[in-house]
Structure formats: structure tokens, C-alpha cells
Amino acid sequence: MAVNDNKENVRNCTTLDELIDAEYGAKGTQKRDLFDAETKEFCIAQTLREERIRAGLTQQQLADMMGTKKTYISRVESGKQNLNLTTLFRLFECLGKKVAISII
């Protein structure tokens, strides 16, 4: 698809779902799957950052509570660090929160 064709498709979108489909492809395509995964990671990272700030903690303080380095917390909050579930649970527990996972 040419760049101008894609711009026209994007301009014709009327919903967010149409816009995402036009920009990243339909669900199940490689580009769309990557976008969806990165979006979820971004949301978790932003939630962690917001909860840390709400708790009145610096990245260094949270790192000290976790027994890790500030740079690790920074990478997590910027979405540049993959997390396993145990670490995710521990991070939020340090912030006085619990993580719930739903399988649907």
C-alpha cells in the first residue's frame, strides 16, 4: 500500500478501531499483534508509574524496596524492560496494590 493510500484510509476513519486497523492492520496480522502487545506493556508501565507517584515514592525508593536499582524501575516504567508475573506482583505489592488477572 502506498503512503498516500494509507493517509487517505486514515482520513476516512470514523472510529478508533477503524483508525487502528488502517494504521496497523487487522487483528491477527503480525504488525497488529506487535502493536497490541506493545500497547498492553505501555499501559502496565504507565499504571505502575502513576501508582508509584500516588504512593509518594521516587524510583529510587521503589527500587530500594524491591532490592533492585533505580535504572531497572526506570526501564520498567518506560516499557523497555519485560516483566515476569512474580516481579509484576512484587512491584505493585510494594505500592500497596494487588494485581488481578482475568482469563476471558
DSSP state of 28: T
Query: Side chain identity at 3, as an amino acid letter?
Result: V
Write down the pLDDT at residue 38.
85
Write down the pLDDT at residue 6.
64
- Is residue 4 scored above 60 in pLDDT? no
CATH (domain of 27) = 1.10.260.40
Q: Phi-psi bin for 97: left (phi > 0), alpha (psi -120 to 50), beta?
A: beta
Beta carbons of 9 and 22 less than 8 angstroms apart: yes
How far apart CA 5 and CA 104 sit, in angstroms, is 36
Q: Do the domain assignments include residue 60?
A: yes
Burial 16-36 (b: 16+ CB within 10 A, else e): eeeebbbebbeeeeeebeebe
Higher pLDDT, 42 or 12: 42
Q: Do the domain assignments include residue 100?
A: no
Q: Do the domain assignments include residue 101?
A: no
Overall number of domains in the chain: 1
Q: pLDDT digit string (tens) for 29-85?
A: 999 988 888 888 899 999 999 999 999 999 999 999 999 999 999 999 998 888 899
Write down the pLDDT at residue 23.
87
Higher pLDDT, 77 or 4: 77
- Is residue 2 scored above 90 in pLDDT? no
Q: What is the span of the domain harbouring residue 46?
A: 3-94
Task: Work out the pLDDT band at 5, boundaries 50, 70, 90.
Answer: low
**What residues have CB less than 8 Å from 10, skipping those under 6 apart?**
19, 22, 23
**Which residue do the cell numbers 510494594 mark?**
94
Q: Do the domain assignments include residue 51?
A: yes
